[in-house]
């Protein structure tokens, strides 16, 4: 029986694990499967990434070269050659799901990847999609593609959705310790998906369908987006009233029930929170439903960079300076603290808005030494080293991402003006403006 054969191969670790997409999600998953003794075959369309990995190097800051080298010793191999797909018993898809310019789901990475796999799919394989998407993607898009190959899903091939839950830079959770949600197209698919992930993750949470699993991931991220939108709005209200929202949040967080602290910032960043809610908004239209909460939170959050820039303008104006011609140093351009990931970073939007207003913009980020090539954002800049002299040479220092590596006392002591969008400075000071 094909199902039992695959279950046996997963159980005795003779199954070859194929991971498609070797980025922030696929790479940690590869390391975990290799760690417990599976042979992992990694696929990526980027030859540069494949070459880097095969040389025992890493291109993600929080993943060490040593861990890649160890995985290679354990049999890990990376390739751009999709004709090797039949070697894998499981194919786990970890590819991006961005939005297009109309803020609609862009499934091109998922569908192009699947179309590249289909000619090589064989009996006895499990396909698992981990990319965040709208409910229905797995059974509306992936299932027909697999069956076009002549496979019968649930009988001689298997399909599940199991959303990624990586949190780069969070020292308290690892791939192993974050519970894994898994929904199958059929009960047989579910059984194999749960067996696969149970081999490497401490707790697997089965749900009744791929749609329930897809919706679970969206709810998690919408929950964050809506609550961050709420505190961002509260920040603006509190500021008008002369109240420090961070003091209020700290006080409210002492309540041992019924309150979860969320923190305001200069906008939303990362590959999930600014994007995923719109996947549901888009799909809900098909059912005649308006997702007003989600859209309102998105509106509030996407307006935060403008709010921060207005605070920079007002603070400079108070010092008889215009943004036009001012030297502004942006501290932190990754989307969150202590990582090198710049996807959807609000810092980049802040830099563009300031540049458009005539500011001379520079940045300092210990995690991003050179501003990377990005599809939609262009800066020819390198990170500024934070000497006392360098800090004092800027008209404004804008704290956008609060990395732990910054010396906040040094910045406060030497900056002419600090605009703090992260609530890092608790005590009032003449040269600090909260945004």
pTM of the model: 0.92
Instruction: Please state, for a pLDDT cut of 70, what percent of the chain lies above it.
Output: 100
Residue 343 pLDDT: 87
Residue 196 buriedness (CB in 10 A; 0-12 / 13-18 / 19+): buried
Report residue 101's pLDDT band, with 50, 70 and 90 as the boundaries.
confident
Residue 292 pLDDT: 93
Rounded-to-integer distance, Cα 380 and Cα 322, Å: 24
Helix (H) or strand (E) holding 218: helix 210-240
Q: Mean of the pLDDT values across residues 415-420?
A: 98
Report residue 399's pLDDT band, with 50, 70 and 90 as the boundaries.
very high
Residue 429 pLDDT: 95
Q: How far is CA 110 from CA 93, 132, 391, 417, in A?
A: 8, 10, 44, 46
What's the Rg (C-alpha) of the chain? 24
Rounded-to-integer distance, Cα 57 and Cα 69, Å: 7
pLDDT in tens, 153-209: 999 999 999 999 988 778 888 899 999 999 999 999 999 999 999 999 999 999 999
Contact 212, 183 (CB under 8 A): yes
**CB-based contacts of 385-389 (< 8 A; 24+ apart in sequence):** 386/410, 386/411, 388/413, 388/414
Angle formed at CA 209 by CA 207 and CA 211, multiple of 5 degrees: 110
Cβ atoms < 10 Å from Cβ of 300: 21
Indicate the average pLDDT of the chain: 95
Whether 221-302 shares its CATH topology with 304-435 is answered no
Angle formed at CA 26 by CA 21 and CA 28, multiple of 5 degrees: 155
Q: Is 331 helix (H, G, I), strand (E, B) or coil?
A: strand
Cβ atoms < 10 Å from Cβ of 305: 23
Q: Mean of the pLDDT values across residues 316-344?
A: 95
Q: What region does 26 belong to: left with phi over 0, alpha with psi -120 to 50, or beta?
A: alpha
Which superfamily is assigned to 304-435 in CATH?
A: NAD(P)-binding Rossmann-like Domain (3.40.50.720)
Q: How far is CA 26 from CA 130, 135, 393, in A?
A: 9, 22, 42
Q: Is the dihedral of CA 219, 222, 228, 233 positive or negative?
A: negative
pLDDT at 102 over 90: no
Q: How far is CA 8 from CA 15, 96, 122, 125, 223, in A?
A: 9, 31, 18, 13, 39
pLDDT in tens, 42-92: 999 999 999 999 999 999 998 999 999 999 999 999 999 999 999 999 999
> In this structure, which topology does domain 221-302 adopt according to CATH?
1.10.1040
Q: Mean of the pLDDT values across residues 11-19?
A: 98
Q: What region does 341 belong to: left with phi over 0, alpha with psi -120 to 50, or beta?
A: beta
pLDDT in tens, 227-266: 999 999 999 999 999 999 999 999 999 999 999 999 999 9
The catalytic residue among 94, 182, 272, 396 is 272
Second CATH level (architecture) for the domain 2-210 = 3-Layer(aba) Sandwich (3.40)
Q: Mean of the pLDDT values across residues 366-389?
A: 92
| 49-52-53-54 Cα dihedral, nearest 10 degrees | 120
pLDDT at 353 over 90: yes
| 189 included as an active-site residue | no
Residue 211 pLDDT: 98
Instruction: Please state, for a pLDDT cut of 90, what percent of the chain lies above it.
Output: 89
Contact 272, 221 (CB under 8 A): yes
Phi, psi at 410, each rounded to 5°: -60, -45
Contact 419, 435 (CB under 8 A): yes
Write the DSSP symbol of residue 142.
I
pLDDT at 26 over 90: yes
Q: Where are the domains of the chain?
A: 2-210, 221-302, 304-435
User: Is the model more confident about 267 or about 388?
Assistant: 388
Rounded-to-integer distance, Cα 43 and Cα 78, Å: 6
Residue 277 pLDDT: 86
**Residue 53: which of 86, 78, 21 has the closest Cα?**
78
Report residue 19's pLDDT band, with 50, 70 and 90 as the boundaries.
very high
Residue 273 pLDDT: 74
Q: Mean of the pLDDT values across residues 290-294?
A: 92
Residue 23 pLDDT: 94
């Amino acid at each position: 029986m094909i199902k039992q054969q695959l279950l046996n191969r997963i159980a005795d670790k003779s199954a070859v694990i194929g991971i498609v997409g070797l980025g922030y999600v696929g790479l940690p998953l590869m390391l975990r499967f290799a760690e417990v003794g599976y042979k992992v075959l990694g696929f990526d369309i980027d030859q540069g990434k494949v070459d880097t990995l095969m040389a025992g190097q890493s291109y993600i800051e929080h993943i060490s070269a040593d861990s890649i080298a160890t995985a290679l010793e354990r049999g890990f191999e990376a390739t751009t050659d999709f004709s090797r797909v039949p070697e894998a018993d499981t194919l786990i898809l970890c590819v991006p799901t961005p939005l297009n310019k109309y803020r609609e789901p862009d499934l091109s990475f998922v569908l192009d990847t699947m179309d590249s796999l289909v000619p090589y799919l064989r009996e006895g394989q499990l396909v698992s999609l981990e990319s965040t998407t709208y409910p229905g993607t797995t059974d509306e898009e992936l299932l027909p593609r697999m069956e076009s190959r002549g496979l019968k899903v649930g009988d001689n091939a298997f399909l599940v959705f199991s959303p990624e839950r990586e949190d780069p830079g969070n020292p308290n959770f690892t791939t192993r310790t974050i519970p894994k949600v898994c929904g199958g197209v059929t009960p047989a698919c579910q059984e194999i998906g749960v067996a696969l992930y149970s081999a490497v993750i401490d707790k697997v949470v089965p749900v009744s369908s791929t749609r329930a699993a897809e919706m679970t991931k969206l709810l998690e991220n919408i929950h964050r987006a809506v609550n961050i939108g709420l505190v961002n709005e509260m920040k603006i209200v509190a500021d008008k009233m002369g109240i420090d929202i961070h003091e209020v949040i700290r006080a409210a967080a002492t309540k041992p029930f019924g309150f979860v602290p969320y923190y305001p910032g200069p906008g939303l960043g990362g590959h999930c929170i600014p994007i995923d809610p719109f996947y549901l908004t888009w799909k809900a239209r098909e059912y005649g439903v308006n997702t007003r909460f989600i859209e309102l939170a998105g509106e509030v959050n996407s307006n935060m960079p403008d709010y921060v820039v207005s605070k920079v303008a007002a603070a400079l104006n108070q010092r008889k300076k215009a943004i036009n011609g001012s030297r502004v140093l942006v501290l932190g351009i990754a989307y969150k603290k202590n990582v090198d990931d710049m996807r959807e970073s609000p810092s980049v939007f802040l830099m563009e808005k300031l540049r458009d207003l005539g500011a001379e913009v520079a940045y300092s980020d210990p995690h991003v030494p050179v501003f990377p090539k990005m599809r939609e954002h262009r800066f020819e800049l390198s990170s500024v080293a934070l000497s006392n002299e360098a800090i004092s040479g800027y008209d404004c220092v804008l704290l956008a991402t609060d990395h732990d590596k910054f010396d906040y006392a040094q910045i406060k002591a030497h900056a002419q003006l600090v605009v703090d969008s992260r609530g890092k400075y608790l005590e009032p000071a003449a040269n600090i403006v909260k945004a």
